[in-house]
Amino acid sequence: MASRSTTEKAFQSIIIDDEGRACADIPESACKQEPGNFFTHVGSLALTKIADGLIDPKLVLSWLMTSLGAPIALVGLLVPVREAGALLPQLLTAGFLRRLPRRKWAWVGGSLVQGLAAAAIGFVALTMTGVAAGWAIVISLAILALARSVCSVCYKDVLGKTIAKSRRGTATGLAGSIASVGVIIFALSLSFNLVDRMMLVTGGLFLAGGAWILSALLFATLNEEAGATEGGKSAFKEALKNFTYLRDDPQLSRFIATRGLLTATALAPPFMIAVGSEAGEGYDKLGFLVLASALASLCSSFVWGRLSDRSSRKVLIFSAMVGAVILAITSWLAFAGTLGGGVILPVLLFGLMIAYQGVRLGRSTHLVDMAGKYTRAAYTALSNTIIGLLLLAGGVFSLIANWFGGEIVLSIMAGMSGLAILVAWGLEEVQRK
């Protein structure tokens, strides 16, 4: 009892529910377990976020593959494999996963597989080079991405069953802030060469594997009640059925459109660095991107999470405003040829990462609170699959940059963020429903 009392006191010190929305959208039995579940979510999610930072395909794995002598064509597959592999399968797997009355076990299994895949990449770094190393890393990353897609489908559904509507953004935001500390330490080590870089990257891969496995063990302790299993039909039929939600729910279509436009905040950083960096300095700049992202997460995740619990719609609008302003300034300075001077690029990167964190937390909270318990898994899978296709199509920005320059790409992305403001304006205040 004493331990439970301490947990409840800690929970109450974090959750200041001043609007009387006690245990909104979850049953009374789940409400009694909420304090313990809250910290289980925070701990598990923080561990996975640390692992994500240690194995970042855009930064860490691209450096690793280049250092191992893998061809550039394979290096170019990393981000598409990671993003598309994590999102595209979700529309087909949602129907099967819905047959599980307790979906935490699918999340646990997915986290375990991610941990083993990360450790496999670490083993490749120690034992292989060249083309063989490149293919082994790409295949391991594909397995990791597929496992992540299972976790993504299940997580929002489990979060919606175990944490009340007014506390979900706080849980994910707090996890992001905690995880950012670990990633900051890793980023500083990379930036200032405190340890041999290959040794640090390889050790980070094994550490990421351990973090995913530990998060699985922790998440297994979550108190999740059995949920609805309707809709657990064949994958293909369920996929076709899910598309009807776009027609039947205009708010879902508007949300996906908003999220699609705001992919600009995720795609822009490499182009910012490419435009602002001098030849031969790219990896140093990319290393700083890890640090900028972690610092932005530390400073903003908890705040964005708390604001999302009040109005995820406004968080998406504000994030789009910040992203549009930062990208417009970046594009203007790039055309003027002054982007690489002094601390201009670092400051702009930090600002964009603040917007990106707002997009991540706002979209997650909005989707969970918008969907009902019978549609949450399907909405998540449909949204993620469509965004996965858009991210895959985002490869066209590389062609535009090659033909017309990165400045044009940044201008287009600034316009996308600006348009997202208008689209998000029509979203409902789902926290008030």
Structure confidence by residue, pLDDT tens digits, 67-90: 888 876 677 677 778 877 887 776
Six-digit token string for 430? 């789902």
Distance, CA of 171 to CA of 239 (rounded, Å): 30
**What pLDDT score does 33 carry?**
60
Mean pLDDT of 352-364: 90
What H or E segment, with its residue span, contains residue 391? helix 376-393
pTM over 0.75: no
**Domains in the chain: boundaries:** 34-226+233-432
Residue 424 has pLDDT above 90, yes or no: yes
Residue 122 has pLDDT above 90, yes or no: yes
- pLDDT grade for 384, boundaries at 50, 70 and 90: confident
Residue 20 has pLDDT above 50, yes or no: no
**What pLDDT score does 240 carry?**
67
Six-digit token string for 361? 């937390």
**What pLDDT score does 306 carry?**
83
Q: What is the pLDDT of residues 147-188, one digit of tens each?
A: 998 888 788 777 777 776 667 777 777 887 788 888 888 888
Mean pLDDT of 235-253: 75
Q: What is the pLDDT of residues 192-227, one digit of tens each?
A: 777 788 898 999 999 999 999 999 999 888 876 665
Reference 64, options 20, 18, 121; nearest CA is 121
Residue 418 has pLDDT above 50, yes or no: yes
**What pLDDT score does 303 carry?**
83
Residues 6 or more apart from 96 whose CB is under 8 A from it? 232, 235, 238
User: CB of 361 within 8 A of CB of 156?
Assistant: no
DSSP for residue 60: I
Name the CATH architecture for the domain at 34-226+233-432. Up-down Bundle (1.20)
C-alpha to C-alpha distances, 149 to 109, 177, 183, 379, 426, nearest whole angstrom: 11, 23, 22, 14, 29
